[in-house]
């Protein structure tokens, strides 16, 4: 069977990945703006179940308790999980253990919103249990709050960005949190001109300390997805395919592993990293990289045992998906589902603090 004969979103995976996800009793959420999908991956111990939902260029994902946020091309959508409605889902009763339902849509306009996160808030939010939703606003080179009053509310920008303009000046793309507070940010350059980061994009990446607003490491090969794990900082060097543990004080780093692909999107659960790799289309922003010419690139998810750096499982897409942006873990959920607000079945899903209902009314 040729690739053209395969059904959409065909993938293959190692038995070890099936066993690992089942053993961890979790599921994965994957965003791919290239394919316009958010994908839930779960395991029953025998096979990996894949559930795809269409969104307009989904990128950043943020999960806090039962609250899930997805950044799309012009919106940020917030969902709330209802396990009760999941179990009684009319189309597949007693199948799902979580059902994410849309509860708020923020019409932000086109911000090229990359990473999203829930952070500790001074003002209680009913959706996020005392958390605020923030994002990496790549278009305007800043970190911002998402709220109902403005397209975005900026609260931090690199010291070298002289004004907030929709010019993607430094390609600010990632942020690392410690105890739900932002400590580091990554960008692809130190430019203060429109798309100035492109001039030396492969070796001009920077790591910034958000509290001091200083560049603390420079010359990085397209850094993405910075994450604090324990007391250590991990991030991805996208142009080299490397997962690294970096010391912010010295800039020294150790390579955890190296993958054949443009690495972007990383999450951690127990002792395991889950890392996304992309093939890179010729028409992509990064399609002119030397990496894009390699023949062994693949798009998929790799599970890595962090204490040893060993690859323990892998999923590879054969069609439909060429690029991955973000990955998140849903802990304790082994068969999740998600509904968009334009799906008819969603219009029947009702919940109040004391009860849930599947309404009989559809008009």
Examine residue 204 and state whether it is found in any structural domain, yes or no: yes
User: Would residue 1 count as lying in a domain?
Assistant: no
Q: What is the pLDDT of residue 5?
A: 76
Containing domain of residue 92, as a range? 15-351
Residue 304 lies in a domain: yes
How would residue 187 be classed by pLDDT, with cut points 50, 70 and 90?
Answer: very high
With tokens 């030397």, the residue in question is 290
Phi, psi of 19 (to 5 degrees): -65, -40
Q: Is 2 domain-assigned?
A: no
pLDDT score at 124: 46
Residue 145: pLDDT over 90: yes
Q: What is the CATH number of the domain that holds 280?
A: 2.120.10.30
Residue 174 three-state SS:
strand
Residue 154 lies in a domain: yes
Virtual torsion, Cα 305, 309, 311, 317, nearest 10 deg: 90
What's the total number of domains in the chain? 1
Specify which residues 224 forms β-bridges with: 236
Q: Is residue 9 part of a domain?
A: no
- Is 269 among the domain residues? yes
Give residue 352's region: left, alpha or beta (phi > 0; psi -120 to 50): beta
User: For 206-248, what is each residue's pLDDT tens digit?
Assistant: 999 999 999 999 999 999 999 999 999 999 999 999 999 999 9
CA distance 119 to 146: 11
Query: Is there a domain that residue 8 lies in?
Result: no
What's the pTM? 0.94
């Amino acid at each position: 069977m040729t690739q053209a004969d395969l059904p959409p979103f065909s993938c293959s995976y190692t038995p070890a990945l099936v066993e690992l996800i089942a053993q961890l009793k979790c599921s994965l959420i994957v965003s791919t703006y290239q394919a316009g999908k958010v994908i839930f991956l779960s395991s029953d111990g025998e096979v990996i179940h894949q559930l795809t939902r269409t969104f307009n260029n989904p990128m950043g994902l943020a999960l806090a308790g039962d609250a899930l946020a997805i950044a799309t091309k012009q919106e940020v959508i917030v969902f709330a999980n209802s396990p009760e409605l999941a179990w009684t889902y009319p189309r597949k009763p007693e199948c799902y253990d979580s059902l994410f339902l849309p509860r708020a849509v923020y019409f932000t306009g086109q911000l090229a919103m990359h990473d999203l996160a829930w952070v500790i808030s001074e003002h209680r939010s009913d959706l996020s249990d005392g958390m605020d939703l923030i994002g990496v606003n790549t278009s305007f080179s800043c970190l911002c709050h998402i709220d109902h009053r403005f397209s975005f509310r900026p609260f931090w920008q690199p010291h070298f960005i002289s004004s907030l303009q929709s010019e993607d000046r430094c390609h600010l793309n990632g942020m690392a949190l410690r105890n739900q507070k932002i400590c580091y940010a990554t960008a692809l350059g130190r430019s203060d001109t429109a798309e100035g980061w492109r001039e030396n994009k492969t070796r001009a990446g920077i790591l910034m300390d958000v509290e001091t607003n200083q560049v603390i490491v420079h010359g990085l090969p397209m850094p993405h997805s910075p994450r604090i794990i324990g007391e250590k900082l991990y991030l991805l060097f996208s142009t080299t395919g490397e997962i690294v543990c970096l010391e912010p004080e010295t800039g020294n780093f150790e390579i955890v592993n190296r993958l054949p692909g443009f690495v972007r999107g990383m999450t951690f659960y127990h002792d395991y990293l889950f890392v996304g790799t992309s093939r890179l289309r010729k028409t992509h922003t990064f399609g002119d990289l030397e990496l894009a010419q390699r023949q062994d690139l693949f798009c998929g998810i790799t599970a890595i045992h962090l204490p040893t750096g060993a690859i323990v499982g892998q999923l590879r897409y054969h069609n439909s998906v060429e690029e991955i942006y973000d990955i998140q873990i849903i802990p304790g959920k082994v068969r999740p589902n998600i509904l968009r607000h334009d799906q008819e079945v969603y219009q029947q899903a009702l919940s109040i603090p004391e009860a849930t209902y599947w309404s009989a009314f559809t008009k």
